Amino acid sequence: MRTVSENRCFGGVQGVYTHASEATGTDMTFGLFLPAEAADHPVPLLWYLSGLTCTHENAMTKAGAQRYAAEHGIALVFPDTSPRGEGVADDAAYDLGQGAGFYLNATEAPWAPHFRMWDYVAEELPRILTASFEIDEDRQAITGHSMGGHGALTLALSLPGRFRSVSAFAPIANPVASDWGRKQFAAYLGPDETLWRGHDASILMAERGFDGEVLVDQGASDQFLDLLKPEALAHAMAARRQPGAFRLQQGYDHSYYFVSTFIPDHIAFHAEALYR
């Protein structure tokens, strides 16, 4: 692993690191904020998964999360959203290919050799973090925005016991019924739609629920509401009697202004679960 940068930040350290990934067969870069407490003992970890077109850097520099994580003594990890580099398949569209990994393992050409973001986020990067930094592997939570909200929810719903809490900002909530999902699932997973269901948060919520609390914030003025389909997730949570909250925020759109407004609530929500 190579250190790209380390900067003092709210008493802790905001680092950026690059490593060779077995899962993707490429070099991968991630950001990691460690609070001051990590100098003395392992600390809880909150995962932040980013959305379409993002790298590790977007949330790291725009969400304003480090201040609140430092107050609660929580580490933050910001993975990249896809494999990148020479020889990695891509597409001219912004919502497929590099920057649009959708947090799944692709099985179709030309994506299958490198687009294995599920394995990277669920298995490989957790091992690297706990082996290399003062991270408490038993106290982890997950959040994300848009495509990253989709990833956070599907990972938490599919890996019982892994995360103590899950939240999402404007997640792609029902991708099997949306152009943000059907296009990508067909490309990455092939035409068998039964394989898509395991990557749809609304379906997983209805079938499994989450053994913990869920927090979802959705901007009521989000320009992508028709693609996100938040009503499907809200209905699934209600039908499941899922503990938690789905909040529709009047006047807010899909931007990082929305995320940065409510990130204090989300970090406090996760801190309560991580320290319970």
Q: What is the spatial distance between Cα 27 and Cα 237, in angstroms, rounded to a whole number?
A: 38
Cβ proximity of 242 and 271 under 8 Å: no
Residue 155: enclosing H or E segment and its boundaries?
helix 147-158
**Integer Cα distance of 97 and 229 in angstroms:** 22
- Antiparallel, parallel or unpaired: β 12-20 and 27-34: antiparallel
Show the tokens assigned to 136. 């408490």
Taking the CA atoms of 176, 178, 179 and 181 in sequence, report the sign of the dihedral they define.
negative
Sheet holding 75-79, edge to edge: 2-9, 12-20, 27-34, 75-79, 43-49, 135-144, 165-169, 213-219, 244-249
200 is known as an active-site residue = no
Half-sphere exposure of 17 (CA within 13 A, CB side): 20
Q: Which of 80, 200, 217, 222 is catalytic?
A: 222
DSSP state of 100: B
Respond yes or no: is residue 146 known to be catalytic.
Answer: yes
Task: Give the active site residue among 72, 199, 254, 270.
Answer: 254
Taking alpha carbons only, the member of 23, 63, 27, 22 closest to residue 46 is 63
- Known active-site residue 192: no
Active-site position among 146, 165, 167, 202: 146
Could you list the active site residues?
146, 222, 254
